[in-house]
Structure 1
Amino acid sequence: MAGLRPALAPLVAALAHRHGLDTEDLEQSVWLRACERAAAGRLPADTRSWLRSLALRECRRLTRTADRERLLAERAERPAPAPSAEAELLAERGRQALWASVGALPGRCPGLLAALADAPGLTYGDLAGLLGIPRGSIGPTRSRCLSCLRTLLHGLRT
């Protein structure tokens, strides 16, 4: 199979150039697939023709992948559309309902959830010092508070 590389190189270079692919990437992909098939003991008798068709298949596959990546990059570069006035109003009402529900929670829940929302990077040690509660109780308290908040918010939706 090593002797086939010089014969296949012009085809790979032409395909890569025509489809805007990197020649080395296409060649590596073709030889990787060929080696996988050779390792499995499934090389066809007419290896030269098979390698040519493999190069074409790999070119199509890499082109599809490059197209998808290009489309995703273009979408990421586009600015998000400005929300409509109605969407902004609904979002604000949702925030108000959320914080009203947080304020209605029992015990230390409003303070803990507000601290978590205001400074999400705080460690449990920082929160313990800020709120004056034991470090080990922050996780369970947070879990109970969020469960109560879910219950309150679910009651608002129904």
Structure 2
Amino acid sequence: MDADSSTLVAAATAGDRDAWNALVDRYAGLVWATARAFRLNDADAADVSQVTWLRAVEHLDNLRNPAALSSWLVTTTRREALNLLRQRRSGALPEADGAEVVDDEQPPPWHDILVDERNRELWAAFRRLSARCQTLLRLLVIDPAGSYTKVAAALDVPVGSLGPTRARCLTTLRGHLARSGVDG
């Protein structure tokens, strides 16, 4: 199914089992990798994943931004993993046997998944900018140390207007990203 997250969330909320299955298929790896990043063994990561999906079922119809489901799932998985670890530390849960050690010098396994998701959202937001903003930002990124004079000449605008125009374009881009649920 190629539907976007918002469409799938709406359909799943309305009881469409295929839409729910598509959401789970799309994001199960992300949820699993996020849980494993907390150095949980397979059994504990499976428990955290199940609780995360249970929370999704409970709160799917209350999501403020269904398009940002991946961010919501990551945040919820992190919270559930931290809850499990806190309960362990307080003695409420016994320590699981066979906990696996994760190499601290390597980025967490979910890092690439999150970067890819963020990049997709960033480029989608960038494409929603006006052609003029896209061109301006591209020119400034191609040669950030380059002369504003060259960029102004290429765009046929006064040099003094580049800074304020750039600021407006970046503000618009940030707004698009915020509406998509991308932060930071």
Fold in common (TM above 0.5): no
TM-score of the two chains, using structure 2 as the length reference? 0.38
Greater C-alpha Rg? 1
Q: Which structure shows the bigger proportion of residues in helix conformation?
A: 1
TM-score of the two chains, using structure 1 as the length reference? 0.43
